[in-house]
Amino acid sequence: MFGIHQHWLGLEFKNYVREIGRERFSDVENKSNATPINYSEKDITVIFRRRGGCDLVQSFSDWKGTVASAPDVIGMTFLSIVSLVDDVPGKKHLARAVELYLTYKPPIEELQYFLDFQVPLVWAPAPPGIASHHRKEPVCPSLQFSLMGPKLFISTEQISVGRRPVVGLKLLLEGAKQNRLAIHLQHLVSLPKIFLPHWDSHITIGPPKWQGPEEQDSRWFEPIKWKNFAHVSTAPIEYTETNITDLSGVYIVTGAQLGVWDFGAKSVLHLKLLFSRVPGCTIRRSVWDHSPSSSSIHKADESSSSSSDNAKLLKIIDMTETLKGPQDAPGHWLITGAKLGVEKGRIVVRAKYSLLNY
């Protein structure tokens, strides 16, 4: 590349530029009989710039041979890595992985675990179909929050997801009158690859085990509104039993159930969890968390505005989802415990999230 600073225009200048180019880029043999251009006579300043190659080589033809050993960038075009593998099977998976990495930027050492956990999520139990609306309401225990207030019925259905890591929890009002409290679990729809050596279907893990709070341990009983009416057991539910066979693995949550201890007007709502063993793994880190997603808050607001019959119950049930997903570094959290609580007069559920060493 060469730049020219001059004070005159026209055809003469155009021809002069061509002459400079011929002199600069022609071979040495062709230049031996040519008369060098005297730039000072024409009141022109010519500045030559070369990118790459060896600056000590004067001949253009010789200089071209040095560019390969000392190249320099004169222009760039950015291409997606996916565009380079158009005909390779699994291109969509690669594109998804690249998109996830660029969006959440997990640590490189966590990338394999992060990607393994980015599979679709589903809620259990599944949403009821049209036919279920015509079924008879189940007989359920109930809670009373005040003398004249509405009753809150409690679904005691046992929810189990099998060998699928649970990553989210939420409380929900169900039934035709939206007056039956249930707990739902969000889990991965398929088993992450990193789990296969530890939790594949052919691996013996022993029977899952239910654990819950002690019925007589009133230290954890907290009133929802008034001391003479319904309470909640806020005891944290974690797997605490240990024996020789449990030393080579950890227990994670794979099921949940709500229950009621009947003490008359002072009945107590409590939570039980189902734990399944994951052999060959240890817990790296755990944290209690209650991080509702913005979408779940929006849904709760919509339901409160669309129905007035259950407005009083909605005021005492926090139905926001607790979830740790790809946005929560390093992006492969799962639930190893949970507890009910009472915050500002509302029943809430909190989850204990853990990272595993595989």
- 316 & 231 share domain: yes
Position 37 in a domain: yes
Q: Are residues 221 and 126 in the same domain?
A: yes
Is the same domain home to 117 and 248?
yes
Helices (H), 230-310: 294-306
> Are 118 and 199 in the same domain?
yes
Whether 113 and 244 map to the same domain: the answer is yes
Quick check: is 98 in a domain? no
| H helix runs in 200-306, sequence order | 294-306
Residue 311 lies in a domain: yes
Model confidence, pTM: 0.74
Which residue, of 14, 41, 67, is where some domain finishes?
Answer: 67
327 lies in some domain = yes
**Are 196 and 129 in the same domain?**
yes
- Within 10 Å of residue 39's Cβ, how many Cβ atoms? 13
Has residue 101 been placed in a domain?
no
Residue whose tokens read 């693995």: 249
- Is residue 76 in some structural domain? no
Residues 185 and 279 in one domain: yes
Q: Give every residue of the chain whose pLDDT is below 70, as ranges.
A: 1-10, 26-43, 129-135, 242-247, 290-309
**How many domains would you assign to the chain?**
2
Look at residue 281 and tell me if it is in a domain: yes
Q: What is the pLDDT of residue 38?
A: 61
Task: Residue 11: give the domain boundaries.
Answer: 2-67
Residues 168 and 238 in one domain: yes
Check residue 58 and give its pLDDT: 77
Q: How far is CA 36 from CA 20, 39, 60, 126, 166, in A?
A: 10, 9, 15, 87, 81
pLDDT at 302: 44
What is the per-residue pLDDT for 303?
46
Query: Are both 163 and 238 inside the same structural domain?
Result: yes
**Burial degree of 319 (CB within 10 A; 0-12, 13-18, 19+):** buried
Query: Is residue 78 in some structural domain?
Result: no
Indicate if 55 and 111 belong to the same structural domain: no
Q: Are residues 44 and 115 in the same domain?
A: no
DSSP class of residue 20 equals H
Domain identity same for 56 and 127: no
> How many angstroms separate the CA atoms of 246 and 280, rounded?
10
| Alpha-carbon span 142 to 139, nearest angstrom | 10
